[in-house]
Structure 1
Amino acid sequence: MPWSYLGGLEGMPLLVGLAVVNSGKTSYPKGVFSGALISADFIRLFPQTKHANISGITSSCFSLGAFFGCIASFTAGDQFGRRKTVWLGLSMNVVGAILQITAFHLPQMIVGRIINGFGMGVISSTCPVFMAETSPFRLRGKLVVLGSVCNTIGFCIANWINYGLYANNGPEQWRFPLGFQLIFPLIVAVILPWVVESPRWLLLKNRHEDALKALAKLYGKSHALDDQDLNDELSSICRSIDEERKNRAPTKDVLLFRDSNQNMRRLLLSCGTQLMQQFTGVNAMSYYLPTLLIQSVGVSSAYARLLTAANATLYLGAALLCIFLIDLVGRRKLLLYGSLATGCCYLVAAITLKEALIHPDAKKTLGAVTTSMFFLYYFTYGTSFAKVPWVFNSEINSLGWRARGAAAATATNWIGGFIVVQFTKTGVNNLGWGFYLLFACFCFSFFPIVYLLYPETCRRTLEDMDEIFKERRGAFVFSHPVLTQRQRPQAFIEAERRRIEAASDSEEAGARAPRGLLAV
């Protein structure tokens, strides 16, 4: 397919199209399976899932498949490019969904979920990087979150479909919801041919002319390839790539924290946000909220589905709010607030469930308080840990390690989800209210970790990230205003100016003297 056709969109429509592609990592498959697990026909056909461990592996194998999908994209993202890697993930999603829809035996259902998860792992590790590398830095947080909001819309739709089909006791109660997930890869497949490849990946592959065309389309300047600001931006990125290549260290030195770009430290920070996200217990809620409401609170199956759907709608509202908060407040503050808020929700839920055991006459009132804590948890999670790790993960790594860092971080997310989901039902059965206290402790522990170790990435260009780690070697960031303030530091603006000036003196860059800064 010729380049002139690829990337038919331009300017803001192109950025919206990229956000739609980023929505391919939808939570619909996770949300919809919570309803399948309590469907009468599903239990009749797969009676093994009555056992907690079998139910756990049937749910969590999706996350296990996603983990291996992330490992596959560790090299695929840089080898094949962002667009082709997304195509690979979409294909696996379709195959996995079809296997689940047509399953009459549990092994086929599990294989289908693993393949589906594999595709989701590929997409979820590639799309945020794709979005970050093609977004203007002032809009990057909003656009990455916007793509993730589409993810939340899928989760919301899944829960309302589960509720709407509650009265249907036939196979349609779970087969139709599982089949509906094919809509999402179809939408992405329609949009994907019209978006450009990442200009940074194209430069990484020394395709300078294609990179310039891609960058021009992103700025809506495809008919003005000689635009000064456009070429300045290309020069800045080229210079950053040249410096990274010049300072590239052997893998051994990277693993031992000896390289000047501190790639391993950056990778661990991005993995850390994803690990924290999973150990807020969100997947325990995503897969098992109806089950938790039935077992822990004591509501009916129908009411549990209704509450789950209403909760998903609240979660969507929180995600929409996060679009405005992500750049207004900054990454660090949202993570700090999220750790305290989600921890408090779990703590109150644990206390009310314990009190319900001591005072059975107040069980209904205490159950209502517990349910409200689940709702409040989703709101606070939706405005913090639900979205910030995906943004941070796509920003923090260097260009040479961005795809690999994102793959490692997303793999951490999915393996963490596998662990949490696998043991949720067993934990609720054996620990009761203590299960929620455990997650409260996890959430509270994230506050000092973020405060001490995590720099602010809001309003920085992707090339600014190298400045953060080249000049400041210490692991602790809390005492450095340049690393924690929301506004872009002047030192980073001056560093970008130096990169453009250095590129202007190079025959390879071929850029003129800068007249302005326009950073992606």
Structure 2
Amino acid sequence: MFIVARFFAGMGSWGFLAVTPVYSAELAPPGLRGLFVGMNGVNIALGYGLASYMGMAFYYADNDATKWRGPLGMALVWPFMMLAILPFIPESPRYLLMKNQVEKARDIVLRLHSTEGDDDQVFARSEFYQMQKQTEHDQKMDMGWLDMVRKPGARSRTALAMGFAFIGQSTAVLVINNYGPSLYGKLGFGTEDQLRFQCGWITVGVIFNLVGALIMDKLGRRPLMLFGVAGCCVCLILEAAMVASFAEEGTNKAGLGMGVAAFYLFLAVYSVGVDVAGVVFYGELFPNHQRGKGLSLSVATIALTDLVYLQATATAFANIGWKFYLVFIIITGLGAIVLYFVLPETKGIPLEEMAKIFGDADDVVVFAEDIHVDQHTHDLVVEDHKTHITHVATETGRDLTSGEANEKQGEVA
């Protein structure tokens, strides 16, 4: 029964994890995308926190069945809450454009991205125009799975996303999360202390995911991601040293306390630089026609990497003990070096322009900097970055050349 239930729960939760960063990225304006998509990481950490808090709370229940039925029963509340809000949330405008529902997409963009005090709504109109024109181009592109690796730019994006997903999970974060009580036990702490430490550890993740989300749009993704991977490596070295030196004897309280502190410091660094930054990075890296597939490959990499590590952990700790940490130390150490040379910065770049940082600038139909509003007619005026021909954007249908626009203005006059 547990295995069957876990199949459906896992299918739903991992599917949800693959959808929400894409959805958030496609609704968010470029300048706040780190915060809005980063809130996915914050709430994932909050979910882990709630699970730990309830595990701790029900530990004190008198009835043995209540100790495990209570936390599992509480998990039923959240899916019903999600179902309840579905009728009230908007569809992604980029999805609607891919399905040729232009007016619905335009209404959503103008409603969500309107700027107070701007009667012309320059930002929202410009953003929608860029979305529309880019979607018309993307609809002509190949959308199969093989196309994720055929073109050099697409191949680079896929490799970066899956590579960072692998390195991020090779920090041993889920090994520490799932085997946390056992690891605290190896450091000499009893059951009640193990649960308390686990609750405290998860709380650190909630706080520092929020910190990462709040500072990401200012500092950028790249510095946080590099800091996260390298910092995790340092924390793991410290943890391995404490376990190797003090866990077996269990008499050096300062050394054991440092072992717990290393876990806490690890999660603070991981949350800021790997967890929340990674969620944002996967959600914004790919073009419209590949974004869902790209995010799915990233999440699948996370799941498969976790599966391998978690299956091996019990056997590894039983046979080689602290030396199992060396696997994660080596991967994160080498990973930080490789990422330093290959990781791009995606801060503030419109999703429609992301191709330019992968050498595919010709796939960008309209650059935001080429769009402005005519002060007299209040029309959007766009300069084609390839031909340098100026157009007056109609926002629906064919654009007018500057000559046609002048002729139309003469007719109106």
TM superposition score category, shorter chain reference: 0.7 to 0.9
CA contact (8 A) 2:391 2:401 kept: no
CA contact (8 A) 1:467 1:492 kept: no
- Taking the TM superposition and a 5 Å limit, the aligned residue runs for 1:254-269 are 254=147, 257-258=150-151, 262-269=153-160
Query: Matches of 2:234 and 2:219 in 1, distance apart?
Result: 21
Query: Matches of 1:213 and 1:423 in 2, distance apart?
Result: 51
Match of 1:376 in 2: 265
What's the CA shift for 1:166? 1.7
Question: Is 2:223 the partner of 1:309?
Answer: no
Question: Is 2:19 the partner of 1:129?
Answer: no
CA deviation string 1:446-472 (max 9, x = no partner)? 212211111101111101202222447
Equivalent residues, number: 384
Structure 1 residues 507, 283: closer, same or farther in 2, change over 3 A?
A: closer
Match of 1:466 in 2: 355
CA deviation string 1:232-277 (max 9, x = no partner)? 322211221223344x258597355336xx2232122122222122
Equivalent of residue 106 in structure 2, options 176, 189, 212? 212
Equivalent of residue 176 in structure 2, options 285, 303, 310? 285
Question: Is 2:225 the partner of 1:335?
Answer: yes
Equivalent of residue 11 in structure 2, options 91, 100, 118? 118
Match of 1:142 in 2: 35
Q: Please give the TM-score of this superposition, normalised by the length of structure 1.
A: 0.68
Classify the secondary structure of the residue corresponding to 2:344: coil
Q: Please give the TM-score of this superposition, normalised by the length of structure 2.
A: 0.85
Query: Matches of 2:319 and 2:58 in 1, distance apart?
Result: 31
Structure 2: segments with no counterpart, 5+ residues: 372-381, 406-413
Structure 1 residues 392, 357: closer, same or farther in 2, change over 3 A?
A: closer
Query: Matches of 2:341 and 2:299 in 1, distance apart?
Result: 23
Structure 1 residues 472, 461: closer, same or farther in 2, change over 3 A?
A: closer
Percent identity, aligned pairs only, is 25
Structure 1 residues 109, 252: closer, same or farther in 2, change over 3 A?
A: closer
Structure 1 residues 354, 207: closer, same or farther in 2, change over 3 A?
A: same
Classify the secondary structure of the residue corresponding to 1:197: coil
Equivalent of residue 164 in structure 2, options 265, 273, 293? 273
CA contact (8 A) 1:322 1:382 kept: yes
Question: Is 2:122 the partner of 1:232?
Answer: no
Structure 1 residues 298, 464: closer, same or farther in 2, change over 3 A?
A: same
Equivalent of residue 277 in structure 2, options 388, 394, 403? 388
Query: Matches of 1:233 and 1:511 in 2, distance apart?
Result: 18
Classify the secondary structure of the residue corresponding to 2:51: helix
Structure 1 residues 299, 469: closer, same or farther in 2, change over 3 A?
A: same
Query: Matches of 1:149 and 1:252 in 2, distance apart?
Result: 30
CA contact (8 A) 2:98 2:139 kept: no
- Taking the TM superposition and a 5 Å limit, the aligned residue runs for 1:88-487 are 108-168=1-61, 170-220=64-114, 229-246=123-140, 248-249=141-142, 251=144, 254=147, 257-258=150-151, 262-294=153-185, 296-356=186-246, 360=249, 362-471=251-360
Structure 1 residues 362, 210: closer, same or farther in 2, change over 3 A?
A: same
Q: RMSD in angstroms over aligned alpha carbons?
A: 2.9
- 1:210 counterpart letter in structure 2: K
Classify the secondary structure of the residue corresponding to 1:165: helix
CA contact (8 A) 1:202 1:208 kept: yes
What's the CA shift for 1:343? 0.7
Query: Matches of 1:141 and 1:132 in 2, distance apart?
Result: 8
Query: Matches of 1:362 and 1:336 in 2, distance apart?
Result: 36
Q: Which has the larger radius of gyration?
A: 2
Structure 1: segments with no counterpart, 5+ residues: 1-107, 474-490, 515-520
Structure 1 residues 503, 275: closer, same or farther in 2, change over 3 A?
A: farther
Structure 1 residues 154, 251: closer, same or farther in 2, change over 3 A?
A: closer
Structure 1 residues 213, 256: closer, same or farther in 2, change over 3 A?
A: closer
Query: Matches of 1:125 and 1:336 in 2, distance apart?
Result: 23
CA contact (8 A) 1:457 1:465 kept: yes
Query: Matches of 1:341 and 1:220 in 2, distance apart?
Result: 40
- 1:173 counterpart letter in structure 2: K
Structure 1 residues 137, 250: closer, same or farther in 2, change over 3 A?
A: closer
Structure 1 residues 254, 147: closer, same or farther in 2, change over 3 A?
A: closer
Structure 1 residues 495, 285: closer, same or farther in 2, change over 3 A?
A: farther
Report which stretch shifted further, 265-274 or 458-467: 265-274
CA deviation string 1:469-496 (max 9, x = no partner)? 24479xxxxxxxxxxxxxxxxx965466
Classify the secondary structure of the residue corresponding to 2:274: coil
What's the CA shift for 1:314? 1.7
Report which stretch shifted further, 137-146 or 187-196: 187-196
CA contact (8 A) 1:129 1:406 kept: yes
CA contact (8 A) 2:236 2:262 kept: yes
CA contact (8 A) 2:161 2:298 kept: yes
What's the CA shift for 1:399? 0.5
Structure 1 residues 503, 399: closer, same or farther in 2, change over 3 A?
A: farther
Structure 1 residues 251, 129: closer, same or farther in 2, change over 3 A?
A: closer
Structure 1 residues 135, 505: closer, same or farther in 2, change over 3 A?
A: closer
- 1:410 counterpart letter in structure 2: V
Query: Matches of 1:503 and 1:119 in 2, distance apart?
Result: 46
